[in-house]
């Protein structure tokens, strides 16, 4: 497992070693001890989620109230995604910035996000299956979204806007500036 720091503090790209032979492949795709040693994050999995998406499906930008927040470890079991980490932590040096990475079932790579970061992805293939390990239970009252199509954030998508499949919940979510002015965004902890 190789863990690389992304440009946004608390976001990491994970490359896993694939062991293959004539039977298939084996991948050790998650190790909490390696994450702790390389990032300082204590990633205690509380819940595992799985989504299957049509090509062009855009999910996010999602985040949870901090504290406790919800750190995420995201990978593809099948297909591929363009994954987005959005720094929505008020006071962070990279506040309002985002970074994208391609996650594929072929590469068996992953993205690790600390609590307080916004997350979104676009499915690049039909039937893409994404798995998420998270550090807190789903709590509907503590879950929030920012409109991923907000031009102020300027996320760059691999498909045009009319090719994206976006839920009404995400499409009707507040714009970034409105989320900031309402006080709903998490504060940067400085770690």
Provide the annotated active-site residues.
Answer: 62, 132
Residue 69 to residue 67: CA distance in whole angstroms: 5
Residue 36 to residue 42: CA distance in whole angstroms: 5
142 CB-contact burial (10 Å; exposed 0-12 / middle 13-18 / buried 19+) = middle
């Amino acid at each position: 497992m190789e863990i690389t720091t992304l440009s946004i503090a608390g976001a990491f790209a994970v490359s896993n070693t694939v062991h293959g032979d004539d039977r298939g492949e084996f991948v050790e795709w998650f190790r909490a001890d390696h994450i702790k040693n390389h990032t300082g994050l204590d990633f205690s999995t509380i819940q595992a989620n799985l989504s299957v998406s049509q090509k062009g499906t855009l999910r996010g930008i999602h985040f949870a109230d901090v504290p406790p927040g919800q750190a995420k470890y995201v990978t593809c079991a099948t297909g591929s995604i363009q994954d987005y980490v959005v720094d929505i932590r008020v006071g962070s040096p990279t506040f309002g910035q985002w970074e994208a990475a391609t996650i594929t079932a072929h590469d068996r790579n992953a993205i690790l996000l600390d609590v307080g970061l916004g997350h979104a992805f676009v499915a690049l293939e039909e039937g893409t299956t994404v798995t998420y390990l998270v550090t807190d239970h789903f709590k509907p009252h503590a879950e929030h979204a920012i409109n991923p199509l907000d031009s102020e954030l300027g996320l760059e998508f691999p498909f045009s806007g009319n090719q994206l499949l976006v839920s009404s919940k995400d499409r009707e979510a507040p714009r970034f500036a409105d989320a900031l002015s309402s006080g709903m965004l998490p504060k940067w902890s400085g770690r």
